[in-house]
Amino acid sequence: MLLVIDIGNTNLTLGVFDNNEIIHSWRLSTQITRTEDEYGMFISNLLIQTNLVNKIENAVICSVVVQLTNKIETALKKYLSINPLIISHKIHSNVILNIDNPAEIGADRIANSAAVCKLYKIPAIVVDFGTATTFDIVNKNHEFIGGIITAGMKLQADALASKTSKLPKLNIENSLDVIGRNTIDAMLSGIVRGHASMIEGLVFECEKELGEKATIIATGGYSSIISQYLNRKFDYINPDLTLIGAKIIFDLNR
């Protein structure tokens, strides 16, 4: 079995693959201050609780948090006796990184692109809702040609609350009306519906540059919330896209 670890700025997601099926997954908060031993014991305990600790044969790490990559790698070596594969721009993949500086691209975006190249019709646009909302663009030649990075919805909400004197903290949820009749509803409209409008506009502009329609795939926690405010719906919502992409890359490097 394969353990896949996706280390994001907000969440750390773990998935266990039995062949091509995810049989268990967990989502934890990303804590940079945790030690390698804390992560090692935590991951070991999760696997022990599901009777998988002795069944994990390999692991792959997809990380955008440099401070944690080495910690998790060391933890897996120490507690599971596994030397994990680390995804980077240097690794063999089914997607060509056709951008100015491949070293800049996050491992999650490489994994997302690898997944869409295998699972969906291309060209494709991945909209990934995380701390940042990112667009990953793969053309019909299986090339990652770049994308878009903007502040995610929770980041927007936190910024409004921290940088103003009267706007409160809020949880991202459905926006009932475009015209908010109170502060919370007005903020939700601006953040959620504004995000949806931004996505529609940027998808239109991306397709204009591509010169053809693209398959639109959404991933990340807020995909289903945003989807209901789009006139052009996502073609697919795949919450496990990054884990699947990391698994595809691992298989190509066995």
pLDDT tens, 188-202?
999 999 999 999 999
Pure H helices in the chain: 36-49, 66-80, 107-119, 153-163, 183-188, 194-210, 223-227, 241-252
For residue 62, give every residue at least 6 positions away whose Cβ sits within 8 Å of its Cβ, in sequence order, or none: 4, 5, 6, 7, 87, 107, 108, 110, 111, 242, 243, 245, 246
Residue 21 predicted with pLDDT over 90? yes
Average pLDDT, the chain: 94
Return residue ranges of the chain for CATH 3.30.420.40: 2-86, 96-246
pLDDT at 238: 96
State the pLDDT at residue 18.
95
Mean pLDDT across 142-167: 93
Q: What tokens appear for 161 in the block?
A: 């609350």
- Which of 108, 128, 136, 235 is flagged as catalytic? 108
Name the band, by pLDDT with cuts 50, 70 and 90, for residue 51.
Answer: very high
Residue 98, pLDDT score: 96
What's the pLDDT tens digit per position in 212-233?
Answer: 999 999 998 888 899 999 999 9
Q: Does domain 2-86 have CATH number 1.10.1040.10?
A: no
Q: What is the mean pLDDT of residues 98-126?
A: 96
Task: Note the pLDDT of residue 165.
Answer: 87
Is 108 assigned a catalytic role?
A: yes
Query: What pLDDT, on a 0 to 100 scale, did the predictor assign at position 220?
Result: 86
Which tokens go with 90? 């240097």
- pLDDT tens-place string over residues 22-36: 999 999 889 999 999
Whether 52 has a pLDDT exceeding 90, the answer reads: yes
Q: Would you state the pLDDT for residue 254? A: 84
pLDDT digits (tens, 9 = 90+) for 59-107: 999 999 999 999 999 999 999 999 999 999 999 999 999 999 999 999 9
Is domain 96-246 classified as CATH 3.30.70.1140?
no
Residues 116-126 have a mean pLDDT of 97
